[in-house]
Structure 1
């Protein structure tokens, strides 16, 4: 993320803190967890295998506190002088000093990310905050993240371009005699990283009637057979922005039944896309999609042998936390009046997926970006069933 964008986000956040009388935001991020998306949004960087704190005063320069000397160096490389970087062997001790510098005792401090802390770290964190009045800061950041920019939409577009290439590569090598699922997975990860992705990988479902999606190499060891379907979901994180593309590949000419299934999947996606008009409550996107799935699939959402979430908003998190509660088909609909509204530059992945008794698990997935009057597909890889040859 360029420093201009980082500065803009910091300024927006600091304005919100000042308006609410908050002296500082103290945010925690753990690489493999949801809190990482928050720090990734605010700093432009958050690796998958570390933890860090961010202190954002209502006025002044933000501070990143890291006990990982290699990651502290990377934060410095990414941020330059935009933020102060504290490299320490005493994470909570250094944090205590920075919080004391940002807020007077008894002042109002907002915290965010403590839900991802270990029990021991949480106890130390709360001890640090004991001299202050504490309020929720996660909601402040989550709300800010829903207001997307053209810069962010372009980053998702670049990530999607890589995801398209990963699907194309996977489908091309799936046709090589003797190739296995782990071969495809390894090739996808390698190519994604070569193309500049922070993270790249895929899940696979392989077989005449795939029943599951597999994420680990050891789960798919047999060669891909000539009668198999190859279903893939290629996921990319580029400069902190996510994308994913799903496709079905087949060696044989698809049967009339599979052609019908493919057409229905595309129609479901397009129905969801049509709901992405600025000002529309976002829950209407998933409702349009799930209504069509329920009408076509003989299983209910809960009885389906294998069904996962059909749509989600993407951001610096794979599933944006501000939108997630309202894009869940099993949500508490009494809260729908609180649903955020579709807005320009938001990005959604639409991937209907369900089980049909005669063909197994089926899916399709594309990424859409919202414009001024509606949404368009970012994914450029041809939709429908891919012929493997």
Structure 2
């Protein structure tokens, strides 16, 4: 990754937004600029940048590792001493900034330390300058996202292969986790597994509920590879799907296709959301689609752009985002299908078809003899 180029771009953005000082804690913004991703704990750690200077305040235990990534002067403090004297050095180096951009995921105690150093400054969120940069991926980033998506494909395969009557949601989540790791994922970020009525909760917390014949199965799985995220949602079914399930699944699939067909550079983002939403509303289920159609993805699982019906921003080259409409019928089941796509190429970055390519898992014909069918 071109970290030097990113550093130049962020300083240019700081100048444009009249930001005198940027302060980033451990997190995705720091990784974007440096490649460094230390554990975020109670020890203050910040990258400071001004127009012409920089400094990295870091506890002793992370200093050696940070030297591989950080090209700014170090201000190191020991646990026994705390960061007070190092922060005083930062204050003397950067003077009295009028506008400070603080990292969006900064701990409250870390932010309060900054505000005590520069109590007269105006504070804004760092996303004001970093989100537009991170939103436009390079070809190298898209390639990593594609490889991350491949780990999600494997996780879906592993999860559906483990589906059988009596298995628990947690056990399927464990199978998905094993699939991620077998495919080379460096981190598993979430495994949402929802059987039957639980699938009507968009962000269900995976439980001990056991699979029963006639259960729809919602799999929403995510991982990281080299810092970049995957996110996929697929449906499976134990036994023969009911006519009602088939109807809802068809509507959601049509909504996905409508959204994908709307994607091209220059199209207002709202049109992607509306394309999916209109399909569901015309089918009479608009009130059961209660979330946006998608979200950006990159170093963070959820990042700009937000695919909502109010977002007038045009689709631009390098954007990567999810398309994931859903219908949720409380007490019955929910159906959601998710693709990760690019703004200039609406084909999925992953390969796990919404209609599984596995010979064991059928959907085009809902054969009663099929043990598990995956959509």
TM over 0.5: yes
- Give the match for residue 344 of structure 1: 317
| Structure 1 residues 125 and 360: CA distance shift in structure 2, 3 A | same
- Give the match for residue 157 of structure 2: 168
1:113 deviation in Å?
2.4
1:75 deviation in Å?
3.8
- Give the match for residue 275 of structure 1: 262
- 15, 18, 21: which is aligned to 1:24? 21
Residue 53 (1) aligns with residue 43 (2) = no
| Structure 1 residues 92 and 12: CA distance shift in structure 2, 3 A | farther
| Structure 1 residues 264 and 38: CA distance shift in structure 2, 3 A | same
In the alignment of these two chains, the number of paired residues is 354
- Give the match for residue 346 of structure 2: 375
- Which segment is superposed worse, 157-166 or 251-260? 251-260
Contact 1:114 1:122 in 2 (8 A): no
- Give the match for residue 30 of structure 2: 39
| Structure 1 residues 73 and 259: CA distance shift in structure 2, 3 A | farther
- Give the match for residue 15 of structure 1: 12
Instruction: Map 1:214-293 onto structure 2 (within 5 A).
Output: 216=205, 220-293=207-280
Residue 361 (1) aligns with residue 353 (2) = no
1:256 deviation in Å?
4.3
1:186 deviation in Å?
2.1
Structure 1 residues without counterparts, runs of 5 or longer:
30-35
Contact 2:20 2:97 in 1 (8 A): yes
Residue 158 (1) aligns with residue 147 (2) = yes
- Give the match for residue 103 of structure 2: 113
Contact 1:40 1:46 in 2 (8 A): yes
- Give the match for residue 169 of structure 2: 181
Question: How much is the aligned-residue C-alpha RMSD, in angstroms?
Answer: 3.1
Contact 2:214 2:240 in 1 (8 A): no
- Give the match for residue 89 of structure 2: 97
| Structure 1 residues 232 and 225: CA distance shift in structure 2, 3 A | same
Structure 2 residues without counterparts, runs of 5 or longer:
363-370
Q: Name the TM-score, length of structure 1 as normaliser.
A: 0.79
- Give the match for residue 296 of structure 2: 313
1:268 deviation in Å?
0.9
1:244 deviation in Å?
0.8
- Give the match for residue 149 of structure 1: 138
